[in-house]
Amino acid sequence: MAQSKTTLPQQFESIAKASKGTVGVSALILETGETAGLNAEARFPMQSVYKFPIAMAVLQQIDKGKFRLDQPVRVLPSDYIPKPGHSPLRDEHPGGNVDVSIAELLRYNVAESDGSACDVLLRIIGGTAVADKYVHSLGIKNMRIALTEQVQVPNEPMQYQNWSTPAAMTALYKKFYTGHVLSDSSYNFLLDLLVNSGPGARRLKAQLPKGTVVAHKTGTSGTVDGLTRATNDAGIITLPNGRHLIITVFIKDSYADQETRERTIANIAKAAWDHFVP
């Protein structure tokens, strides 16, 4: 058994070479505690993966009675992230000054990876420091939520300030999934958003059997002069035997094209699947 454990990190390392960057992996079988990783304690820019912990922070405040899911929030033109940042909310309501429920803002934030919706949610809970403090209160220390999307999007190098280790992100998913840190209703609401998240069809889930349930959140930076600072996917994969593989794959500072970067994530997820599925 010990020998098979050493082979999975070696597979990760071999697969990672195609990325022409640095790859971090943290894989955990929830029910057995088995782990495998690569650069699991190194810091990587989260990009939009940080919308998952931010959503948790919002839902925790809902659980405390500070807000309601159906509560409308006025979205201001000043909330909008600049183009080319991804924001269906901005594109659908370019003039701003619309009322959008917190539930819908969370859907935009998680399922559509909308940067403007993310910033509205950060605004109502009190800013990035509140989300950061919440994550740390869960015992997740190697993660930092420092900048809004509005600051991060036009300033590529600043994204490194929103960082996590792969191990910390996997630990956060474990805490979310098993730690009862949110109410049942908030937990089920967020889990549904993660399962039905639109982006990332070519990443963690790409090479897994059709119908595999993957609750996940992606993150992607822009590409400048051939350099892509972040290509990420992290989440919970339900295995055929009913067990759960929590896996984080972060790629930073890559000079490979998008297809290669996404295939690297898919290949790593498939290697973990093949290793852990009997």
Q: Is the dihedral of CA 87, 91, 97, 103 positive or negative?
A: negative
Cα gap 203→267, rounded to integer Å: 8
Q: Give me the amino acid identity at 246.
A: I
In terms of Cβ atoms closer than 10 Å to its own Cβ (0-12, 13-18, 19+), residue 67 is middle
CA distance 48 to 110: 9
Say which residue the tokens 């991060």 belong to: 152
Q: How far apart are CA 117 and CA 114, in angstroms?
A: 5
3-state secondary structure of 253: strand
Do residues 118 and 153 lie in contact, with contact meaning Cβ atoms separated by under 8 Å?
no
Catalytic-labelled residue, pool 48, 87, 116, 164: 48
Exposed, middle or buried: residue 104 (CB in 10 Å: 0-12, 13-18, 19+)? Answer: middle
Catalytic residue of the set 26, 112, 113, 149: 149
Q: Residue 73 in contact with residue 101, Cβ under 8 Å?
A: yes
- Whose tokens are 């912990």? That residue is 53
According to DSSP, the residues that pair with 44 across neighbouring strands are 164
Asked whether the beta carbons of 89 and 117 are under 8 A apart, the reply is yes
Tokens of 107: 């859907």
> Which residue bears the tokens 């055929």?
240
Is 149 assigned a catalytic role? yes
Phi, psi of 149 (to 5 degrees): -65, -35
Q: Which residues are catalytic?
A: 48, 149
